[in-house]
Amino acid sequence: STHQGLRKRYGFIYVNREDFDLKDLKRYKKDSFYWYQNVIKNNGLK
């Protein structure tokens, strides 16, 4: 939700940043990325 800024992280990719510090903006695939990749690969059958 928007009132919590970046404390809650949604999605499949983590972006290295905070509310007032952009840091390096590097992207990292979360575990959920690989889970969903497997769901797609198996047409949701596993």
CA dist., res. 29 & res. 10, Å (int): 12
Query: Which three-class secondary structure state does DSSP give residue 46?
Result: coil
Report which of residues 1 and 22 the model is more confident about.
22
**20-46 per-position pLDDT tens digit:** 888 899 999 999 999 999 999 999 876
User: In this structure, what token pair is assigned to residue 5?
Assistant: 């800024």
pTM of the model: 0.67
Q: Give the DSSP H or E segment for 14.
A: strand 13-15
Q: Where are the domains of the chain?
A: 2-41
Distant-in-sequence, close-in-space partners of 17: CB < 8 Å, separation ≥ 6: 6, 23, 25
